[in-house]
Structures are given as C-alpha cells and as structure tokens.
A and B are shown apart, each in its own frame.
Chain A
Amino acid sequence: MTLTGTLPLLRTRRYGSLLSVTGWVAVTVTLVVVLLSLLAPVLAPYDPDFVDLSSVLGGPSSAHLLGTDALGRDMLSRLMFGGRTSLVGPLIVVAASTVLGLLLGLAAGWTDGWISRILTRVFDLLFAFPALLLAMLAIAIFGKGLMAPILAMTISYIPYVARLTQQLVVAERSRPYVQAYRVLGFRTPWVVLGRVMPNLVPTVGAQSTLNFGYVLADLAALSFIGLGIQPPTSDWGAMIEEARGALLGGHVLPALLPALVVVLIVVSINVIGEELSDRIGGKLS
C-alpha cells in the first residue's frame, strides 16, 4: 500500500519564517505593550495617580501625549501602569495552569488505571464551571481583588490544558516511534519526559497562548464591574469603567484608549497563538 503524496503537493506550506507578516506585527505590538508596562516606573512621564483638577479631560497635547482623564490624571502613565496589573494576572494564570495541566494531563494520558480514570472525572467535573463563574464564586468567598479570581481561574483552566495534553499523550503513545523507544529498551520516564513531552509542549503552548487572551478579557471584565482590582490601583478594565461618565459627556479618549489597548493585545495574542497552532500542526506531519 503506497502512501500517495499528492495532497501535500497541492497545499502550500510556509517553511521559511515562523510567522507570517501579520504574525510578526502582532509580536511587535505585544512586545511594545509589555515593555512599556514593565518599564512604567522608569518611562512613565507622570505619577499615574496624580490628580490635577486644572487639566481635566484634556485632549492630546505636548504635556499629555494621550490626554487626561476626568480627574486630570495622565492617560499615558495610567495606561502603562495599568498594563502591569492587567498583564500580570493572565500571566500567572496561564503559566500555572499550563504547568499543572501538562503534568496532570501526562499522568492521565500515560497511565491506564484508576489514576487516569479519576483524573479524567475530575477534569470533567471542573469543565462544568466556566472560568469567570468560578472566579466570581471565589470573590464571593474571599473578597474583592485579584488574588481570588487569579486562583480560581488557574484552577478552571487546568482541565483545558490537561485534557489537550491527555489526548496528545494518548495519541503519541500508540505512534511507532514511541513504541520503538520501548522496544529499544529506553526507560519509560526518560521516554515520557525527555521525548514525548517536548513533542507536545509546542501544541499545548500554542493553546495556552490563546488562553492568555481569554483570561485577560475576563479579569478586565471583573475589574470593570468593580469586583476585581480595587482602587487606588487600576487596570485597563477599571479605567474603562471610570471613564464612562466622560464618555457619556462626549469625551471619548479616556474610555477608548484602554479599550483599544485591550482589544489590540487580545487580537495580537490570538493571532500569534493561532499561527503557532497552525504551524505546529504542519510541522509534525
């Protein structure tokens, strides 16, 4: 039985660059935003909480590049500092859930006995709780702020990573190259951790990249309705809420700017995540 190779001939695959032009633009945007937020204490022109009632709702000017909000605070500085809060939450959630999810998914996918069964049931149970809901429940118990939702969302995202890992592991197990390792006498822990896992990490990582966007949006939503970050610290979600009054009065910037940044970052992350997914999907064939 010959495997005819006509299909790959008809599909164009990009072998050169890792990402497309759009992808690299997305990476640049993300890096710029991340850097600006990271270096906010050094780069921000003003103290983000400095209230200056004399320059309320000013448009962009030489003094304030992106204008001021309803309390005269500099928008650019607030955006930069807001970024620190907005970005750190999703980072923790994604990093923790990916690591834990990988480990649990590995355990569930490689073993056949009760461990695997119990883990699968636990995942199924956790799937019943949407991340944002679990976050709200956590806030109801632990109080407002970001700690509770971050913890809750980490727990909610673990099953997604774990289930994906589990499916990948189960598929890889039956692949001839893995069986060849076994027949060649390589020890199982080495095969699993040293050879199978690295083959999965790109796929799981690409998925986690997408999760970053979802988490960011959810946490910002929580801040927006007042359950997340509490004043005086601010994040982009809270900034949008604060700017509602100004918006209804016709001053668009204080609300538009943080909204744009949120959308921009989420779009960029999504584009990167999807391109990586596609690329990795093609790589292993």
Chain B
Amino acid sequence: MSKLLEIDQFTLHFPGRGALLNEVSLHVDDGEAVALVGESGSGKSLTTRAALGLFPETSRLSGSVKVQGLDTTSAPAAKLLQLRRNRASMIFQDPRAGINPVRTVGDFLTETLVRWRGLSREESVERAITQLEQVGLRRTKEMMRQYPHQLSGGMLQRVMIAAALLDSPELLLCDEPTTALDVTTQAGILELLREQQQARAMGMLFITHDLNLAASLCDRVYVLRKGEVVEHGAACDVFLSPQADYTRQLVGATPRIELDKVPTAPAADGTMPLLSVKGLGRRYELPGGEMLTALNDATFTLAPGGSLGVVGESGSGKSTLARMIVALETADEGELAINGRVRAPRPLRARERKLLAKDVQIVFQDPYLSLDPRIAVGKAVADVFRLHQGQGRADAVQSARELLERVGIGPERFDSKPRALSGGQRQRVAIAKALAARPKLLVLDEATSALDVSVQAQVLELVEEVREQLGLTILFVTHDLAVVSRLCAELLVLQQGQIVEQGPTAKILSAPTSDYTRTLLDSRPRALWEEQPA
C-alpha cells in the first residue's frame, strides 16, 4: 500500500513560543479522500500547507512530511518546485484573494503551462479551455480574457480548481474551498471535486470546520484541536460514535435538521402581531446606473413571543429586511409596523429612534466590529442602562454586571476591552447590550455565522435561554437551515428579494412547496453512508 501523503510526528513552532502543531501524524493513500476537521486555531491550514513545503518564515520543524517519499521539511528547492508543479496541487479558500486581480483568468491558467511545460501559447490556451469546460464552466473562450472581478465567487472557485487540475496532480489539497460560497454553489463545487477525485483517482486531503461536509465527501476523518490530532478513523465511526470528548462536543454542536426538535409557535390568540410587514420593498442604484431590487413585496407578521427565521443566500435581501426593521435603512415602498406603530417612510428622528430602541434591537454578524474597541465591555452595557432605564452610574454598573453574568461574561471581564475577548464572548456582550434596552423584539443578523461551530452552539443556547426567560420575540436571519430548525418556529425563505415560502418551520422543512427551498435542502451536505442503500 503506497502512501501518497505521510505526515509523521510533525511539529511546528516559532522560537520562544508554544507549538502550533504538535506531533501530528496522518496519511492519505492513493485515490483516497481524507478530511481534516478543526476549528480556528487548530492548525489545519498549516498542516496542509506543509504538504507543499509552504512553511511560515522563521518556524522550526521536526518530524517528517512526505509526499510520495519526498520529505518537504528537508527537500531542496528544486525538488519542491517539482512537487508543486507535477505531483500535488492546492485549492485555496477564497478565490478572489487567490487569483491575481490585475491579470486575466487566461493568464492565471496558462502561466504554469507556458513556463515549464514548454507548450506554445496556443497549446496552453487550448489546454486551459478544455480544463475549464471539464469543471463545468461555459463560454470558456470569453472567460480566458476576463478579469477575476468580472466573475462570481462560484465561477472563480471552479477556475481555481481547473488550475489545480491542469497539472494532473496525484494529491489534491483543499483548504476550505467552499467556506466563502453560498450553500447552493457549494453543493456544485463539492460535487465537482468528488467527481474529479474519483475520475482521476487522486488522493485528496480536504480541510473543513464542518463535520457534515467532511462526512459527505471523505471516507476517513482526522479531528484536529489546537495543533494535535485528537481522533481519527472512518468518517461514520467518528461521526456516529466519537471517542474523544472534543469530538463528541463537536458532533453535538454541529447543527442538524431534527424535525422533532423544532420549536412550536405560540397559539394564535388574536392579539396584535408584534411585527407586521406589508409589501415592503427596497431598491438600490448601482454605480453603473442600474437598479438592483434588494427586497420586493415582502409581507408577513410575527406574533409576540414567536420566533421567525429568515433564510436566504447572499443577495436574497435578508439582511436588508433586518436592517429595515431596526430602521438602519428606509423602505422604498410598503408598510412596516412594530407594536401597531407604523414606521414613517423616512429616516427616523432622534426621539423616534429612542422610542424604537425599546421595541427592537439587533445583534450583528461580525463579533470583531460590533463592539467599540475603545470602551470596556462593562461600560458599554452600563451606558445602555443609563440611557434607557434612566439609571445613575452606580446602578447602571450593577445592572450591567448582572446582565453580563447572565449571558456568561464573568465579573473579571467587566473592565476588559473587546480585543481581550474571544469571538463568542464578544457576541455575548453584543447580546447583553441589546438586551439592556429591554426590547420586545430581538433581531439577530447572522449573529452566529462568523463563530466556530462549538461556540455557535453555545451562543444559540444562550439565545434560546434568554428568549424563554425574558419572553422575547426573535427574528433570526441566517443562511443555515439547521440553525433555523433549532431556534425558530416559523420560517421565511427569501430568494433574490422575494419571499418564496413562508410558514411553520417543521412543515416547510418536511414538505417544502417551493423549488428553491427544495434546492436549499438538497444542497445540504449528506453523509456518504446515508446515501448508500441500507
């Protein structure tokens, strides 16, 4: 049995600091698809780059990383070049960052061919075009002359894959290639990768933070945590009966659609809906002069105590809707009312804003940018108490302490600045800030999308807790159906500004009426063993 990639007790550290990778051992055989699963800081990217001999400057290495017998930790430059050119290729996470924006797509593809394959310009172009077609792209001749900014993310990632396949590598390394893409696009890319991997009998090392993804693509899995392999084995074994605590935690935290766990909406008792939206629409003018419809004719209601999930991909208008609800944007048409108060069709005045703040609050997606970097988190929350509950300084600090405790931020962190806190902790603070205003409706705009899986699970738990304890109404904007299934009794599906389906979550997820919803559901990665006949 030939080992295509063999990493043996590989350790990487910077002088004077702890090891980033600690005695990592893994292997990939010819034709085998292996997943490397880990959260941020696990070292998965470093490990993969090691296979190509890409090590950070000034790092110290020990152990070995062998690709077909060649040890990249000690190989001479010429051999490394050969390895990168012929035997192994890597697909990077963000194709927009990975392809030189000032050169054409054609240039990107052919530069390797011309340089050392000795192919003429015409031949290289031919090869490139064929490869582009093989990865499912159309109008490839035109595409060769285009620049990266003219193509969509999905198309660019296919270009990146084409480039990686051009040299017919035996080992394919994939560094979270679909993380930056929409779910539907992601499904296509994954399908393509699986196809190519099988057809070419390539060994593949696939990095991801998503266990579901790993299970849908790979036979074996390695779980990495803080630079160490904590578990490995066949995907179904690791997934269904994890041995290590961390793996158990990870599996538990990975969101799944479980129809029996979907919350139910409060009984309709004829009270006025908390949020009422009729025919809401918003258009933008693009730099080129064209009009883009962000949202069109949105109509729905949300009863007090209810929970509504707003699901869509990028460009669906879900964020626009969320922002309109909290008056960060003004609708061009339609009506929006909270607690019966109809929103004025113009930007709000200061007094109106203050009143609205007691009705609805928002938690944003980016934990790094949603807190003022200069202000201690305790003070930030206390300021809200002073503003809205009219409390004096001392009282506000007390209230802030209590609220922060409740969301899981202990008193020792009261005076910390945001940069001293982790992503999950910052989101908790953001939630506390929002809750300090005692809103009736809490809007969460992809509030957990930027967090690691395990952290996401904790924050979602917090949201559920808080909702029950405070009787909050929730509007959760997300692209993830599984998250919605866990938290929201009702569901709204948006596609390019239109509501294509709405109703009780359980009903929609079990029997969707819209094609788009069906596509969304089908695009979710399905474990390999689930696809095989029982």
Contact = CB atoms under 8 A, between A and B. Distances in A.
Interface of A: 1-6, 9-10, 175-177, 179-188, 195, 198-199, 283-285
Given A1-B449, A3-B40, A184 B433 contact: yes
B230 to A, nearest CB: 18
Interface of B: 20, 39-41, 45-46, 56, 93, 176, 179-180, 209, 326-328, 350, 353-358, 361-362, 364-366, 368-375, 383-384, 387-388, 419, 423, 430, 433-434, 437, 449-453
Nearest to A174: B369
A176 B437 contact: no
A284 B370 contact: no
Contact of A186 (B327, B368, B387): B387
B423 A183 contact: no
Given A6-B45, A179-B328, A180-B362, A1 B180 contact: yes
A180 B370 CA distance: 7
Contact of B354 (A6, A175, A176, A185): A185
Contacts of A180: 362, 364, 370, 430, 433-434
A186 B384 CA distance: 8
B22 to A, nearest CB: 14
B534 to A, nearest CB: 34
Contacts of A2: 39-40, 179, 209, 450-453
Closest 9 pairs (CB-CB, A-B): A185-B357, A185-B354, A176-B364, A176-B370, A5-B40, A177-B372, A183-B326, A176-B369, A4-B40
For the residues of A in contact with B, the DSSP-based class is: helix
A199 to B, nearest CB: 6
Looking at A176, A188, A199, A284, the one whose CB has the most chain B CB atoms below 10 A away is A176
Contacts of A10: 56
Contacts of B350: 187-188
Contacts of A1: 179-180, 449-450
Contacts of A195: 372, 374-375
A187 B349 CA distance: 10
Contacts of A184: 357, 361, 384, 387-388, 433-434, 437
A4 B45 contact: yes
B356 to A, nearest CB: 7
A176 B365 CA distance: 9
B46 A6 contact: yes
Contacts of A283: 373, 419
Given A1-B179, A176-B369, A181-B372, 12 more contacts: A1-B180, A1-B450, A2-B39, A2-B450, A2-B451, A5-B40, A6-B40, A183-B326, A183-B353, A183-B361, A185-B388, A283-B373
Nearest to A15: B419
Given A177-B372, A283-B373, A285-B368, A182 B433 contact: no
A10 B350 CA distance: 45
A182 B373 CA distance: 16
A71 B365 CA distance: 72
A6 B41 CA distance: 6
Given A180-B430, A185-B353, A3 B423 contact: yes
A199 B452 contact: no
Contacts of A181: 372
A180 B326 CA distance: 10
Contacts of B365: 176
A180 B430 CA distance: 9
A198 B328 contact: no
Nearest to A6: B45
A180 B439 CA distance: 14
Nearest to B352: A185
Contacts of B450: 1-3
27 contacts: A2-B453, A3-B40, A3-B368, A3-B450, A5-B41, A6-B41, A9-B20, A10-B56, A176-B369, A177-B373, A179-B328, A179-B364, A180-B364, A182-B328, A183-B361, A183-B362, A184-B384, A184-B388, A184-B433, A185-B355, A185-B356, A186-B383, A187-B350, A188-B350, A199-B373, A283-B419, A285-B419
Contacts of B374: 195, 198-199
A3 B46 CA distance: 15
Nearest to A187: B350
A259 to B, nearest CB: 40
Contacts of B388: 184-185
A185 B350 CA distance: 7
Looking at A6, A183, A187, A198, the one whose CB has the most chain B CB atoms below 10 A away is A183
A195 B40 CA distance: 31
A9 B44 CA distance: 13
A37 B96 CA distance: 55
